[in-house]
Every structure is written in C-alpha cells, then in structure tokens.
Chain A
Amino acid sequence: MKKSFITLLPLLVFVLLALLFADRLAAPRMNGAIDSPLIGKPMPELPLAGWPKDIKPPYIINLFASWCAPCAIEHPNLIAMQKAGVTIIGIAYKDTQANIKKYLKAGGNPYKAVLYDDKGEAAILLGITGVPESFAVDAQGIVRARQQGPFADADTINDFVREMRK
C-alpha cells in the first residue's frame, strides 16, 4: 500500500478542528441569567395589594401567568425548589384570580404568597422583559440575580439559589 502524506492531511486538519470545538464546548456557558439594573440594589417597594410583610427574605420573586406556556414548563421546577426549602413569592402578571386558582390547583402551588399585578405596574418597576421572570432576593433584601425565561436545568436553578443565599 502506497503511503502518501498528502492524503493524511485532511484527517489532520479535521482532528485539529475537532479539538478546537471540543475546547469551546467545554468552556463555561452562558445561561439565562442576564444582569438587570436592579442587581445589587434593594428590592423596590411594589405597588401590589396585600404584600406579605411577614415573609422575610431570602426569597425568590417569580412573575408568572396561567396563559404563559413557558411558565407551565418551569412550574414543576418551582415545586421542586419549594420542596427543597426555597421561599417563592408569586406575582401573577396580567391575569385573573379565577384563572390563577385553576392553574395552581392543576399543577400545585409552590408560592408562599400570590399577588396580582393585573395592570402590570409592578412588572414595569421590575423592568421585566416577559414572563416567566424571577428575581433572587438575599437576606438583606438586595436583588442578587435575575432569571429571564423559565428555569430549565438544575445548574441554572442551583446557581440562582446560591446567589440568593449569599
């Protein structure tokens, strides 16, 4: 069999490229947490009726709605977080009490308290970009992290909860 160096070249080039890609895949990844202007500042006072003064931070504030599909997708994760001892306050964004009651009955209620932001005023104050969106508030009442979109995987959830507990 004639040995030819040239025919080996494509394989070599490919191996180098594959190594480059493997390195990039292993590099630390971006998750859904994008810094919000609130981070590092105290949680603002929200214009919502019935804010539970007796619930002290640290907690997670989660904006959701019954008409929001990704909220339904992240819901089991919220239930799991609550079972693991995380306090979650829910803000129902532009929804009705009846729909929310039905939604929580079907999927379970992970919230220590549910507030209704039917005009979306609290949402504007928090600068959300959509639902679901969550904020991690630490024991001093400072916002530490924001999660845009649903909690999709364990790593994201762990990072988020860790921020809250700092």
Chain B
Amino acid sequence: MIVEIGHFAFILALAAAIIQAVSGLMPRDSLAASAIAARASMALLGLIMLAFAGLEYAYITSDFSVLNVIMNSHSLKPLVYKIAGVWGNHEGSMLLWILMLTVFGALIATLPTIDDPLLRRRALGVQGLLATGFIAFSLFTSNPFLRTDMPPLDGNSLNPVLQDLGLAFHPPTLYLGYVGFSSVFSLAAAALLTGQVDNNWARIVKPFVALAWLSLSAGIAMGSKWAYYELGWGGWWFWDPVENASLLPWLTGTALLHSLLVLEARGALKRWTILLAVVSFSLSLLGTFLVRSGVLSSVHAFAVDPLRGTFILMLLSVYCGGAFSLYALRAPMLKTIRLFTPVSRESGIVVNNMILVTMAATVLTGTLYPLLMDALGLAQLSVGAPYYNATVVMMAIPLFILMGAGPMLPWKRPGRWLFVRPLGLCAVIAIAATLISGIKGALPMVGFGTAVWVMASSLSILWVARKNITLKTLAMSLGHFGLGLAVIGMMGTMLWKTEDIRVLNPGDTYTVGRYDLRFDGVRDVFGPNYGASEATITLGAETLHPQKRWYPVSESETTESAIRLTALDDLYIVLGERDLKFGPDAWVIRTTIHPFVSTLWAGFSLVVLSGLCMLGYSFKRKRAA
C-alpha cells in the first residue's frame, strides 16, 4: 500500500513538474505565474520525497513483490545496506537523482538572496523542464515501483563488493554535486532569457556553485578512497570512463567558481561564465548518459539497455541542444568588458580557466576516443593511464605554478609588484625542499616542487592576512593548500610504493620496507551474510587481518585488504590463494607500502572544507546601493 502511495506520488510529481515548467517559462510577465512556479516546486519536492520514502519502505521491509527490491536486496543484508540499496541500481538511483533535482528546485524557489523575481521564475521553469524529462524517463523506462506476481522467497542481493559504507553513501554525495549543477544551469539559462548577466547574477549563483562543487569534490574523494581500500590494488584512480565523467564537471566547475570571482568583482567574462555554467551541467548529463546507455564498457556501468540510452540521448539533445542554441542566440547580446592588464588577478584567472577547460577537453577526448574509433570501424582500443599521464598530468604543472602565484596578483592595475618578494620566498622554499627531499627524476622533482610552492604560497597568504582572515581568504588558501598536499599523496602512491608478494607458512617472518612482519596463519570467521578466511599478520604489538570473503547468496567472493594508516605511509596487506604445495597452511600474501597516502585524503578533505567556507560566505544579500 505504501509503495502504491509512493508510485502515485511519483506520477503526480510529473504533473507538478509540468506545471512548474510551464508557469516558469511562460512568456508573459505575471506575478501569479511566479507564485505558481514556486508552489509547484515545493509540491514537486514533497511528492518526490514521498515517492522516495515509499521505495525506501519497500527496501527496509524487504517487500519482495517489488521487482526493484528483488533484484537489489536480500533479507539478510544489514539495515544500512538495505537503505543504501535503493540507489545501488539504475532505477533507484534515477529516483535519487530526481530527488536532488527537486531539492535544488525548492532552493531556487525559496532562497532570499535571489532578488530578481523574473530570474527566479525562469530558473524554476528550466528546472521544472529538467524534472519533467527525467521523471518521464523514469516512469516510462525505469520505474522502480513495478511489482511482480510471483514474489520469490528472498532477494537477489546486492553485489557484496558494493556492501560498504563509503560506497553506500558515495552516490548521494556525488549526485548532490552532479545535480547541483542543474541549478547553476537553470540560473544561467534564465539569465540568458532575461538578458541580465552581471555582478548580481554572480552573487546569486555562487552558493549553488559552492554547494555543487564541494559535494562533487567530496563524492569523487569518497569514490577514490573506496577504490583504494576495496579493490585490492592500492590504486585510487583508474581513468575509467565513469570516473572521468565525474571529473569533467569538476574541472569545469572549478573553472566556473574562479571565473565567477571575476564576474562579481569586475563584471567581466560574462559570456564565458554563462558558457561554463551550461557546460558543467551538460557534462553531468553526459556522464549520466555514458553510465546508463552502455555505449562505453566500464566496470562501473549499470545494466545495459539501448532504449534507456536513446531516451537519455533525447533528453540530452533537448536540454543541452536547447541551452547551447539559446547561448548562440543570446550571448552575443551581453555587453562585454575586455581590457585586462597582462599581469593581474583577472588574467591569472583567465589562464587558470583556459588550462582547466583544456584539461577537461583532453579528458573528454580520451574518454570518447575508443567510441569514435569503434564508430569509424578503425580499431578496438582502450585509452588508459599512459595517455592521461602524458597530457592532463602535464597540464597540471603550469596550473599549479599559477595556483601559487595567482592569489597574490593584484586586481586591475599592474605596477603593484609587491607580490614578487613573497613569491620569490615561496620559490626558494620549494626548490630547497625538493633538493633536501632527495627525490630524483625530472618529473617527480617538478611535481614535488610545485606542490610545495603552492602550499608555501597558501600559507604565506594566510600569514599576511593573519590579523583579519575572512572566509573568502580561508576558502582560497585551504583549497589550494589541500590540492598541493593531495599531489604529494598522489606522488607517493604512484612513484614510491614498495610491493612484496610471497608464499608464507604460519610463523614465517618477513620484512617489507620499514616493517617487520610475521604471518600467523589463517582461520575461518563469519559475518552477517558472509563467511571468510581471515589471516593474521603481526606487526610488533598490533595485528592486521586481511580476509577473503564468500557471500553465499550471490555466490561471489571478495577480498578485504587490511590497511594500517600512518601519517608517513600505509601498510596494505592482501590475502591471496592458499597453495598446499608449499605447506599445509601456506598462503600467498601481498604486502604493499604506499607512502604519503594520508596526505592524499587530508588534501581532499581540505578541498571539501574550502568549499564549505565558500558556501559560508556566499549567502550574501545584495549590498545596499
């Protein structure tokens, strides 16, 4: 019954979305239309929340008459994974996507910092249009509420690899990011429609960009962390098409939040900023298409269905095609300010944007290249880390150099070359640190040097402003510092790791790097829905327990690595196969040491924190004229 209510609410939501779209986009200026649009968005939010609650109810009560629950849940699953199971599949995750869409719609409707009623109304209209398309898509091709006449005794269980807290809560965070850019998109389209893009618009759109960007950053970081400890390789980024799909809007989103600074401060870069706003969400939609259509092979992809792919492509064409057409028509009418002095904050940000967008274009090319080659019938190939390391990683170097210098550059006029001294000091620190560290090789040295450069520069900015640190300054410094820190972590895991693979018998001792370890055998243990072989590795007074788990319902096996995190490095141990040829209890153990991984997570955390700071200072009402 409750599921039926949810389903019904979902259908009503389609009507609410249509009302919102129509009242928002109707050409005539009308107070009534504004009110209707706003109310429709609140009703839409309520209805979708009801629908989502209905589906959650089905999962929590293990209602196996609902097809979606059968395919993706099981009565033995711990409650938290039942709850998270709702979005662990295509249909349910679409509902989550739509929920986020309506949350942002409601934010557009209610946020008091939006002082232009026409802008608000148009933005609601566009947001309603988005909601209409996606609710229709879900209802007609991916309805999570479908029932079956033959409820089985139990469900089919979620893949155990996905039964993990980090992974369970990574989609909502990521979607908050992806879908958050929808509000930015709507506000941009609305601005093109009203013809007013200026400092005020930049102020209005900022909190949305901040929220979307920080969520996306957090989502990507969570995904990387999960990959690191779950997949058993110690890798945290694979340039998988679906990962790239999340990186693309992040890159353009970062460019956007920088160009907004220029738009707000100087009223310049209007066309460019609007374009970035539209492109960022288009990239989110592109990601949605790539993941759910099956055109790209990826370990992340949901089940393949060409009908759904076609529907999403149609939505993409309407939304992106529509927005880009609107841009082509209306953007030329925006008054632009052009003259920038060569060495200034504005030009620095322009170069920053150019590099970020070029990086995004490069990632997009690499991701779509196999598709293109296949379409032309030329070759079956895959584009992996070597390509990205040669291109995107290289581009990051000038970006980082700029990242250190940029925040110290003055706005507007040149001549105030005061920044040269502190920058010179940072350069000296960076070079000294690189030489002292003993790192060899041109690329590692440059990487390390630029990371230290950025960190030193960020700290010096905080020092200079120490008597009065604003949230704005904090946001910038934390963000840049965090990235520099993260780069050191990245280098650690990629360049300096130590790996050891060997067969051990109980009681055997061995040494890897700075760790003296002893293998103490393997025993059987049981979890709520799995059985496992658990090894014990002793390090001094501590023990580590890598496992090999067997989940009987889905008949699959997973490896749980044991990780010991310290500030200096991670000790990462994986249990392999038993081999009786070497002894009655002989097992293969892989031990890896990943230096500086902690700085990777610390760096990411600081980046997310900087986004929160940005969110904090962006809720400004218009300054009294």
Contact = CB atoms under 8 A, between A and B. Distances in A.
Contacts of B317: 18
Interface stretch (A33-41, A65-73, A139-147): A65-73
Interface in A21-49: 21-25, 27, 29-30
B155 to A, nearest CB: 6
Contacts of B153: 66-67
A18 B371 CA distance: 12
B368 A20 contact: yes
Interface stretch (A3-11, A50-58, A80-88): A3-11
Contact of A72 (B150, B293, B295, B555): B150
Contact of B371 (A8, A20, A70): A20
B320 A14 contact: yes
A8 B317 CA distance: 15
A15 interface: yes
Nearest to B279: A10
B576 to A, nearest CB: 23
Nearest to B289: A21
A127 interface: no
Contact of B375 (A23, A29, A72): A23
Nearest to A73: B148
A69 B271 CA distance: 54
B518 to A, nearest CB: 39
Interface string B588-602: 000000000000000
B327 A7 contact: yes
Contact of B150 (A10, A14, A107): A107
Interface stretch (B109-117, B161-169, B304-312): B304-312
A30 B306 CA distance: 10
Interface residues of B, number: 45
A67 B324 CA distance: 52
Contacts of B306: 25, 29
Contact of B333 (A1, A21, A25): A1
Nearest to A3: B332
B150 A18 contact: no
A96 to B, nearest CB: 13
Interface of A: 1-4, 7-8, 10-11, 14-15, 17-18, 20-25, 27, 29-30, 66-70, 72-73, 75, 106-107, 130
Given A21-B313, A72-B148, A73-B67, 18 more contacts: A1-B332, A2-B332, A4-B328, A8-B328, A10-B279, A11-B321, A11-B324, A11-B325, A14-B282, A20-B372, A21-B316, A25-B309, A29-B306, A69-B154, A73-B148, A75-B150, A106-B150, A130-B555
Interface of B: 64, 67, 70-71, 148, 150-156, 271, 275, 278-279, 282, 286, 289, 293-295, 304, 306, 309-310, 313, 316-317, 320-321, 324-325, 327-329, 331-333, 368, 371-372, 374-375, 555
